[in-house]
Chain A
């Protein structure tokens, strides 16, 4: 089954404790992206990657890091999480930018 998986699905952590949210796709897609979704603000793009070792900033990259060492994986790293990063995070992938994006199930992160 073609899918995008994210782990963990739910995470509660404390300010400053480094964390990684993993994202993996099994569709051999070149393009992958991370979004955060907040009430009243909608989906905002954090980072995206056009292929292995190629990444670029979206609209809200501050406080986040990404890496793309393998085509199927695109982890999101929060080096020092803060409460304003409490949000619902989605990973997405597509074969070509502008083509259909497949979204993962989401990761709900709470930073206290």
Chain B
């Protein structure tokens, strides 16, 4: 079993829809949770960064962490065609420099 599981998609939604992207994990030591966006032929860029459980909002993006269920989510409101990309979740434990990434979910927002 992988430490981090992420549905690869692709996920196709109409412009303006609310998008929900999710990851599950098995290692209860993970404390830091991140979401990256990766456009085709580009390096990943950080979208959201959260520590421990709870919600964090930044513009149209909301990250949720539920440590009791070992489940993290990224919500995108009012999705735009420019949001079409692959979204990667990542996580790490406290006091470690090792990052574990999900395989990524490919999102297509249709105009």
A binding-site residues for B, Cβ under 8 Å: 4, 31, 33, 35, 40-45, 48, 50, 56, 58-59, 90, 92, 97-98, 100-101, 103-106
Contact = CB atoms under 8 A, between A and B. Distances in A.
Interface of A is mostly: strand
Interface of B is mostly: loop
Contacts of B45: 103
Contacts of B42: 105-106
Given A48-B97, A106-B42, 6 more contacts: A4-B43, A92-B43, A97-B92, A98-B92, A101-B46, A106-B41
Interface in B78-111: 88, 90, 92, 96-104
B104 A42 contact: yes
Nearest to B44: A103
A40 B8 contact: yes
Interface of B: 6, 8, 32, 41-46, 49, 88, 90, 92, 96-104
Top 9 A-B pairs ranked by shortest CB distance?
A103-B43, A42-B103, A43-B101, A97-B97, A100-B46, A42-B101, A98-B32, A103-B44, A48-B97
Contact of B44 (A43, A45, A48, A56): A43
A97 B90 CA distance: 13
Contacts of B96: 97
Contacts of B102: 42
Nearest to A90: B43
A3 B56 CA distance: 26
